[in-house]
Structure 1
């Protein structure tokens, strides 16, 4: 089969012929139609992640969309979203014509958004939804601040906050392109990021009942200062750094909470329910993630663009059998 194969840690994968996956006990074969290139793919492929360096060669790709070809538990022809542990555990991932997927990581899809749109949302949709519902316990009318509002998780969190009844949703972004994506996702207001924490704090205004934070660093420090009484800051990433400074006096005076979140802590049922809810709203146009499609032949250049942050949205590899 054709696949994006990684031969050297830290280098882009390239299109190559690769052995077809084999179904086994508890594993189904999925013909892949669309698979996103996400930051976790690059981290794992770098060989420097805390998961350890994956054995080479391997096919990256931690999520995708496709059609079941062979399975003991799911009817062949079923359209599914799926997750893989490629790069985190031995085995190949989604950036290929076919993938072997644990049955518990298959989510049957209802008619609605096309495969590329579903792939673009994917696990970012689960994170954006569950940070608001499971961790922040968002209540109707509450004010929400979304850091990294132009990213995939940020776009989902903006749309999800709106459909969950937030009174006001403000996004923080670092570029004009990100601003446009945040506005399109439904933000009431967009604030430009500043590396000066005092300046950013002043720009944010507030107060906010909930902060969704996939970036950490200076933005998280500023956001913690504008939390409302009983406010909750939920962190799910550190794209701007692994450290932030929080004032004990500020947090205690507001009885505020700083909470961590990871999709890895979810059960398969929780992940399925969250993705199903997000995709229902996506089908209605209320949640969206800006994306562009690329072919397998162009996977190396797409990988480099993702690494450099030179994209107009999530990059989704499409596989339709064309060579």
Structure 2
């Protein structure tokens, strides 16, 4: 079968022939319909992350949408984090217990574009961030996580959503996602979001420190990424004087049931047309170029690979 194949850590994949997957006990073969290309895929393949150096060659892709027995499913893999192949192939292996059956009418590409990014946004807002109806929420960044977070905050009953993004294109994505106010990352957040209840932060670094200034006493700050920096210049006096609650979030801590419930919620919103993120569809044959553009940050949204 045809598949994207990484021959060496740190190198982009290329299209190659790969043996048909052979399931072991508890596994099923998924006919892949769509496989998103995410920053996590690049991190796993790089060989310098906390996952260690991946065993090569391997097929990347930590998640995908496909069919099993004709029924649409979402499925995760451990490609790049543990030995084995991922979703960027015509067919992939998944543990039966990890499959999430999807509702009728789901668009596999649209759901793949949402995927674990939307899960992170949803769970960071609701489970970790304890979003309550009427809350003012600040969302940093307008990638897939940020776009999903703006819409999900609305769907969860937020009273006001303020979004911040570095580029003009990012700020436009945030506006289309439905933010009440959109600013640059260098904005004075105390002017646009004073008294905010919740800060959703995939960036960390200086932007997060600036946005935290707008949180009310007892406000919640949930960090789920570090694309603006591994350290953040926030002062002890700010945290203590306002009794701020700073929490970390990762999808890795979710139980299979929590993850399945979140995917089911995301899929329902997608079918209803109330949740979507910008994405572009790319055939597997162009995986090398797509991977290179993802690494350079020059994509037109989440890349979704299709056979």
| TM-score, scaled to structure 2 | 0.97
- 1:243 is aligned to 2:231: yes
1:229 CA displacement: 1.8
1:186 CA displacement: 1.2
Q: Write the mapping of 1:108-257 to structure 2, written as runs, cut at 5 A.
A: 108-148=101-141, 150-194=142-186, 200-201=188-189, 204-257=192-245
Judged with a 3 Å threshold, the aligned counterparts in structure 2 of structure 1 residues 295 and 203 are, in CA distance, closer, same or farther, namely farther
> For 1:104, which of 97, 101, 126 is the aligned residue?
97
Map of 1:94 onto structure 2: 87
**Structure 1, unaligned runs of 5 or more:** 69-75
RMSD: 1.2
Aligned length: 307
1:205 CA displacement: 3.8
Q: Distance in 2 between matches of 1:200 and 1:16?
A: 50
* Consecutive aligned runs of 4 or more in structure 1 exceeding 3 Å deviation: 199-205
Local SS of the residue matching 1:28: strand
Q: Distance in 2 between matches of 1:167 and 1:67?
A: 38
1:32 CA displacement: 0.4
Q: Distance in 2 between matches of 1:77 and 1:314?
A: 26
Local SS of the residue matching 1:86: coil
Task: Please tell me whether the aligned partners of residues 204 and 223 of structure 1 are also in contact (alpha carbons under 8 angstroms).
Answer: no
1:202 CA displacement: 5.0
Local SS of the residue matching 1:3: strand
| TM-score, scaled to structure 1 | 0.93
Local SS of the residue matching 1:61: coil
